[in-house]
Structure 1
Amino acid sequence: MIKVAVVGTNGLAQYIANGIATQTSHQFVVLSRRPSPGLTARGWQVLQVDYSNSADLRFKLAGVDTVISTISGNAQLALIDAAAAAHVRRFVPSEFGGPPSLRPQNDLLDNGRRAAILRLHQHESSGMRFTVFTCGILYERFAPGGMAASQIGLASNIGQEGDYLMDFRRRRAQVPYLNSAGQPATICMTSAADVSRFVIAALDLPSWPREFRLRGERMNVREVVSIAEDIQGTSFEISGHTRSSLQDALTYARAVGDRARETRVHHLIATAEGRYDFANTNLNQLVSVQPESFRAWLLRVWSPVT
């Protein structure tokens, strides 16, 4: 049995905390900036923290074996420093997306992730190891209300329904240009609930690599839209983008100062460049988690709505 700190109170953090509480004998605490009476009512230990107070952070992390972070920016950097000082054994940074190795320099979508990885490397000499859980795109991007409905990606400019690739309710899709091989871009996808199940199952593995790759599905973007069309029973209005049309859209968004639109366009470019794709997994094979298919998930979450 180990003690885990789940950091943050968004939807993914709640999935992970609930899974630890109901499926394991591990101890856990939830670290939150604000009081969370709803989580406390579940019987969870919620510790309010101030990320600008390093001594407080170290105190709250005393005795913790594994930190699972779902926060970003300077708060996560402070968390990393405090975890190393508190002799935490392993740290899971807030990645949960495409492979970090595919992230370019000066990436608009970075959101402090590169700095966090660099800081984690710097602290390895203290004995704290870290592991990234790479899961591709979250199914929740296509949910009613988007990721925001699950309290995920609230500050991402791409958390609302229809912000990425496909608007299921309005039967529309924006498909990026073909990849360098002349084929539709391929993406890996996993539901947030299944990501949490994989993370929880990994807690009992004897060793962790630098990166765990897991997924529910791997398919090209045309297949994603095709599944949605099949469920809806009608064709979608599909806007196909070329490399130049997306670059024009990016230029326009910057010219008018529309940061949200700029972010959405960048996600389509990143999709076309294969940044959410990985051919092989190394965690699916090690645990008994059977992830939900995208078709089954999409049908389930939209069946009460459509």
Structure 2
Amino acid sequence: MSSKSAYKSFAVAGGGLVGLPVVNALAAKDVPVILLSRPGAAAKTVPSGVQVIQVDFNDAAAIAAVLKEHKVDVVLSTITTMAAAAQKPLVDAAKFAAVKLFVPSEFGLPSDGHTEGPLGDKAKIAAHLKSVGIPSTRIYTGTFIEFIPWLVDYSDGSTVKVVGKGETPVSFTSISDIAGFVAHVLTACPPSDLEDRILRLQGDRSTLNGLAPLFKTSVEHVDSLTGETGEFKRGLQIAMDLGAGSTGWDGAKKVEGTGSNAAGSGNALWPGHQWKSIKDVHNLHV
């Protein structure tokens, strides 16, 4: 671990699509890490040395006791977007336990400037962190590259289905790069790079229409998308059409940010890393 890092011990809340890769990436850095899991949650396969601790995510006192026992410096929340508001007890527990840094569950489209829906819930958690005085690092990743087929209702041989014009650039980042970035910056960067910062990642960038040639297919403009999450996907695509799919999007000013607020500006904190492209993740180079 770099001597620049002030953080020595980590707790990850939630062992799902982002949580487990983050746990694995931190464990690979040979730092103490625990995984907080809800009682009754499915068993998690974690690296040796990682302790899985079941705790009620609604019980701030119980969570705080665990954080104190393990001398946790950083809490990382990977709670699903649809349950973002449930992070409040985690924040309160982190305050009780004198945690040095809190990484809330952003890992998606920019939430600043939002007041409603799941992104509004994320923005409210950020405001709560500020109100209780815990430094935070918010990490915007755009859409997971792995989720592209789901987002556009694509399956082998089908079309890329787009609601709206599909001409606005969108940020995409792979889950493995997100996990690797989180582990790197938390163990190699000084607090000044992380405290009360928004880090905007971008592994690749494309319009929704531009996905079609990558997958060697055509665009089909539609009014709705399929499946139980069809309406959610439709909402995402509409937001992307307006610009909000870019990690550089300023939700308050409705413009693309520049400089340290530009899409992908956070990548600079992981110098020398080769970020995975859409073609890399979906094996589209042939």
Q: TM-score, normalised by structure 1?
A: 0.75
Q: Which residue of structure 1 aligns with residue 61 of structure 2?
A: 55
1:268 to 237, 243, 246: 237
1:1-306 maps to which residues of 2 (within 5 A)? 2-22=8-28, 24-34=29-39, 37-39=43-45, 42-62=48-68, 63-71=71-79, 72-101=83-112, 103=114, 105-107=115-117, 109-110=118-119, 112-124=121-133, 128-142=134-148, 162-178=149-165, 184-203=167-186, 204-206=188-190, 207=192, 208=194, 209-229=196-216, 235-236=217-218, 238-241=219-222, 246=223, 260-277=229-246, 278=248, 279-288=262-271, 289-299=273-283
Gaps (5+ residues) in structure 1?
143-161, 230-234
- 1:126-145 deviation digits (Å, cap 9, x = unpaired): xx201111111101213xxx
Provide the rounded CA distance (Å) in 1 between the counterparts of 2:241 and 2:25: 34
8 Å CA contact 1:61, 1:83 repeated in 2 = yes
- Structure 1 residue identity aligned to 2:156: R
CA distance change for structure 1 residues 31 and 165 in 2, over 3 Å: closer, same or farther? same
Question: What does residue 153 of structure 1 align with?
Answer: none
Say which is worse superposed, 288-297 or 193-202, in terms of deviation.
Answer: 288-297
* Structure 2 runs not aligned, ≥5 long: 1-6, 249-261
- Give the whole-Å Cα distance in 2 for the aligned partners of 1:58 and 1:123: 15
Shift of 1:69: 0.3
Residues 247-299 of structure 1 show CA distances to partners (whole Å, capped at 9, x for unaligned) of: xx59xx9xxxx973321211111110111112433321121322111111111
**How many aligned residue pairs are there?**
255
Q: What is the rounded CA distance, in whole Å, between the counterparts of 2:19 and 2:57 in structure 1?
A: 17
Distance 1:37 1:259 in 2: 26
- How far did 1:84 drift? 1.0
- Are the equivalent residues in 2 in contact too, given 1:191–1:216 (CA < 8 A)? yes
Report the Cα distance in structure 2 between the residues aligned to 1:192 and 1:40, rounded to whole angstroms.
17
Q: Percent identity?
A: 26
Residue range with higher mean Cα deviation, 279-288 or 266-275: 279-288
Alignment CA distance shift 1:213-1:187 (3 Å): same
Give, in angstroms, the shift of residue 38 of structure 1: 4.0
Q: Is the 8 A contact 1:198 1:283 kept in 2?
A: no
Aligned to 1:96, what secondary structure does the other structure show? coil
Counterpart residue type for residue 164 of structure 1 = L
C-alpha RMSD of matched pairs (Å):
2.6
Give the structure 1 partner of residue 258 of structure 2: none
Residue number in structure 2 paired with 1:149 = none
Tell me the amino acid that sits aligned with residue 239 of structure 1. E
Shift of 1:15: 0.6
Structure-2 separation of matches of 1:5 and 1:118: 21
> Does structure 2 conserve the Cα–Cα contact (< 8 Å) formed by 1:73 and 1:111?
no
